[in-house]
Amino acid sequence: MAGDQAPLDRDEDAAARVALTWLAEPGNRAVWTMVQDIGAPATMKVLLAGRAQDASLRTGVQSRSAKGDARRLADAALRQAARLGARIVIPTDDEWPGGVDALATLEVPVPGRLNRDIRPPLCIWVRGPWPLGETLGQSVAVIGARAATGYGTHVTGEIAYGLADHEWTVVSGGAFGVDAAAHRAALAGGGRTVSVLACGVDRPYPSGNASLFEQIAETGLLISEWPPGSEPLRHRFLIRNRVIAAATRGTVIVEAAARSGAVQTMGRVLELHRKAMVVPGPVTSAMSVGCHELIRANPAVRLVTGLPQVLEEIGRIGDYTAERSRGPEHQRDHLDEESAVLLEAVPHRGAADPAELAAKAGLHLRTVLRRLSLLETLGLITRHPNGTVTLRPSRPQLAQEATT
């Protein structure tokens, strides 16, 4: 907002922002820019007077104004929220989540309104006991397919439960499948979870997750850019996804089909330079096609296979270090090069004398004699009285021989 303007009354500012969100869908570039320049109340007056420079915005405002008075609808929404125990959060509030402000710099040179209108929220409706900014300050989004497989829900549960156990907030969209599994696992882990909705906080969608949403409202947060009573229209889910991407430290996709909202969300994550993490799946699974394409096409995407790797990606340097996957260790793994070559020369069946071993390994006889002493000390070979050498069976081999 311009620096020479008098400070706005908080309630007046909030009411104007609510009205603007009703007049134009959240993320509208023209509306957000005007609010930054002249403030929300003045922007509302300009729009209602039909003086918006953007022709499509003027048309949209005119159509919506024909359905009702924006100011009265905003007042009604605020009263309804108060009855619900919900609240409105605006950028001047202490609990405003600063991460969403990064949307102000987002530029996506792709045609279409949903790619053009990606600016920060004007306001956010919140239902739940926790401060919004603090809760999202250490958060990770876990999203994926609605038609999740057993594999997908299992991996989701392990990651989300572990994040909650490490005091990370788990953010998702409340849908069936991966989203619901992430919320439930976070609740089971005793952590906070946030559901970012594409409708009013009083009518979470899908209705089949109604009991889950009630749990989230009691111990986590339900949030939305749309006023109470707003319907979950299809395009709103795509608008909503930018908030999931911006408000969190990073996003994990567990399963996603070739064309899915989760893949679109990851596009926003990459554009915002947040941590982009994808769990691979079976190459035969249609629910992992989108995941594999993200990994293949984007160098910035990190493949993760479980909680330790997710923590390593989102934590500050040195906070978490995932152990590298490797097979069981053997004594021979730590041998010097000459000893390893000599051990390879010892026949698996039968015996050999030092001269034969020297010829086979390409080593000097004196070197062979020294290394044989080391290998014998390590219990890898047996030296017999006649001077020959045999391999000593490993423990699994000894166990097998004892049972046959």
| Angle subtended at Cα 119 by Cα 2 and Cα 276, rounded to the nearest 5 degrees | 130
Q: CATH 1.10.10.10 residue ranges in the chain?
A: 331-402
How far apart (Å, rounded) are the C-alpha atoms in residues 155 and 139?
Answer: 18
pTM value is 0.80
Q: Would the pLDDT of 399 be above 60? A: no
Which residues, in sequence order, are bridge partners of residue 275? 250
Q: What is the pLDDT of residues 319-331, one digit of tens each?
A: 665 555 555 556 6
Q: CATH 3.40.50.450 residue ranges in the chain?
A: 85-314
Q: What is the pLDDT of residues 339-395, one digit of tens each?
A: 889 999 999 888 999 999 999 989 999 998 988 988 888 889 899 999 899 998 765
How far apart (Å, rounded) are the C-alpha atoms in residues 73 and 18?
Answer: 9
Q: What is the pLDDT of residues 151-191, one digit of tens each?
A: 999 999 999 999 999 999 999 999 999 999 999 999 999 99
Q: Would the pLDDT of 403 be above 80? A: no
Structure-token pair, residue 146: 């609605």
pLDDT band at 113 (very low <50, low <70, confident <90, very high): low
Percent of the chain with pLDDT over 70: 89
3-state secondary structure of 303: strand
3-state secondary structure of 310: helix
Among candidates 136, 176, 178, which has minimal Cα distance to 158? Answer: 178
State in Å, rounded, how far the first CA of the chain is from the last one: 84
Q: Would the pLDDT of 1 be above 50? A: no
What is the third-level CATH fold of 331-402? Answer: Arc Repressor Mutant, subunit A (1.10.10)
Q: What is the pLDDT at residue 398?
A: 41
For domain 85-314, give the CATH number.
3.40.50.450
Q: What is the pLDDT at residue 330?
A: 62
Higher pLDDT, 53 or 7: 53
